Structure 1
């Protein structure tokens, strides 16, 4: 689990569509910095320290795993992405977006690139009024006083006017879902993605215990002989694990993410079992399926067959090295049929054939945004 930090940011804009500028900044902060816990009202103020258009200003409370230096670099990159162009001109200027780090935990930071608490914050009502709205009782690390007291001591006489327009707080994944199941063919990357999500969002991780199944290596050596005991043992183990883990929700975790869903048992059984065995197996499955909690979101990762074979070879499990492309295609067809017939599951299919979400942050963020805004 990554360490979570509390930071307060100030956002301002006085060019273009100011509401849109602030909302776009919030969306990118929620995507790249962390969970936005609180957003102040919007306050309109005259340009401070120069002649320019009126500003819209807000303050936000963010929970982030980024350390302070990376936080600064990230907000600067967000400004740049939203079109801000910094110049060497001295003094204050018009800007379509400005993001300042006001507070970071209870830290005092004095570096070449970042000073926290922000050295000018106590002098500016357009910062202090929205900040006090969401953090009145927070102690200023240097003044050792609550922020609402600091505001009372502020000598800034400029007008700060609250306006009626409101912004939308980007939802966290944990606010939308209690249970996410990630599925895919052999080698699709479902376990890797589940691990990444668990680490970033403090989710309880439920991983399939395939490595402990004594029939799995035997199955790949003699499919006809060991298919039925393999599928029955998997079904029993998946049922027990999901029943136990979904029933015992961890109060210190935000939600549950698993790298499989119980229905995969039926998909693999349909491919590996004879007709008579499958009919018997299906009767057992139907009894169990009624008792299993359904995920709030079912994510299917699609990988083309060549990439699957490449991934299987790369991870080096000896008993998987003789898996044939035809077998993988049958498994995919089983998933496809399942997906096409499900009306009561919230389904999200993502083609990851050209992605490397483990090593490429852009690919990973693409998937997270798909999940967030599904």
Structure 2
């Protein structure tokens, strides 16, 4: 049997998980740009949304299909999104010097924003909704999926709609302004809820990217949880 000193040594080797930051915002709010901004810090590991993975699910472009038929494919899409975000959120950092994990949207986003929006717009049957909720609740109780900070790039739907049209992603060509308005409402409901679960730092992302970057610089120490080294 290990002696007391061995146990103490083993306990001392248990490393605290990295500080988790989720970059949240509507389509076209600047999440990817925000993620790239923090790539310069050696202690930060960044995770953009895995668009390539969603475009090739065993040969199926779920990202393209969901924008074309949300009634038919919402359950499959949301389940896949849940799974990919869970892997990102709970995976071990690539090396021991990583003290911050920063990702573009979160498991909580899927649950409290997009699943709720799909339900309210009747893109999910009640049975499908309950399956997704039960899936999330089980993982929340049995895994550490907690967030330490949410950076909310707050925008107005009209502004991000214009940006979305300008950048010209094929899958987004069918996204109407009304959908962006629905997502905006879902974000506001979630991030203003008393049960959001962590601190929310809101940045006005209707402004030009240089102004947003100035705020990112101003709040860097906070965003990185005090782990501000490069």
TM-score bucket of the superposed structures, by smaller chain: 0.7 to 0.9
- Report how far residue 371 of structure 1 moved: 4.6
2: CA distance between counterparts of 1:202 and 1:307? 33
State how far apart, in whole Å, the 1-side matches of 2:165 and 2:175 are. Answer: 10
Equivalent position of 1:190 in the other structure: 31
2:151 is the alignment partner of 1:306: no
Check the 8 A contact 1:198/1:257 in 2, yes or no.
no
Residue 333 of structure 1 is matched in structure 2 by 185
TM-score by length of 1: 0.48
What does 1:113-128 align with in structure 2 at a 5 Å threshold? none
> Which residue is equivalent to 2:10?
none
Q: Does 2:214 match 1:353?
A: no
Bigger RCO of structures 1 and 2 (CA < 8 A, at least 6 apart): 2
CA drift at 1:292: 3.7
Q: Which residue of 1 aligns with 2:226?
A: none
Change (3 A) 1:240 1:254: closer
Q: Offset at 1:227? A: 0.9
* Aligned pair partner of 1:287 in 121, 138, 145: 138
Indicate the structure (1 or 2) with the bigger Cα radius of gyration. Answer: 1
**Matching of residue 260 in structure 1 with residue 105 in structure 2:** yes
Q: Normalised by the size of structure 2, how large is the TM-score?
A: 0.75
Secondary structure of residue in 2 paired with 1:353: coil
More helix by share: 2
User: How many pairs does the alignment contain?
Assistant: 192
Aligned with residue 320 of structure 1, among 165, 169, 172? 172
Closer, same or farther: CA 366–198 of 1 in aligned 2, 3 Å: same
**Which residue of structure 1 lines up, in the alignment, with residue 115 of structure 2?**
269
- CA shift, 1:347, in A, is 1.1
Q: Aligned equivalents of 1:373 and 1:209: distance in 2?
A: 26
Q: Map Cα deviations across residues 311-355 of structure 1 (whole Å, 9 max, x no partner).
A: 212222111012111111111111111112235301111111023
How far apart in 2 are the matches of 1:332 and 1:371?
25
Question: How do residues 111-260 of structure 1 correspond to structure 2 at under 5 angstroms?
Answer: 178-200=19-41, 202-213=43-54, 214-244=61-91, 247-248=92-93, 250-260=95-105
Superposition deviation, residue 249 in structure 1:
5.2
Task: Give the Cα–Cα distance (whole angstroms) in 1 for the partners of residues 144 and 50 of structure 2.
Answer: 17
Per the TM alignment, residue 309 of structure 1 is displaced from its structure 2 partner at its CA by 1.0
Q: Deviations over 1:5-28 (max 9, x none)?
A: xxxxxxxxxxxxxxxxxxxxxxxx
Give the gaps of 5 or more residues in structure 1. 1-176
Contact 1:185–1:328, Cα closer than 8 Å, also in 2 = yes
Cα offsets for 1:275-319 (capped at 9, x unmatched): 512122111111123324322211111111122112212222111
Q: What CA distance in whole angstroms lies between the structure 2 residues aligned with 1:195 and 1:338?
A: 25
Contact 1:204/1:250 (8 A) holds in 2:
no
Q: Which residue of 1 aligns with 2:218?
A: 369
> Tell me, what secondary structure is at the counterpart of 1:287?
helix
Q: 1:231, 1:269 within 8 Å by CA — same for their partners in 2? A: yes
Once the 2 structures are TM-superposed, how far is the Cα of residue 202 of structure 1 from its aligned partner? 4.8
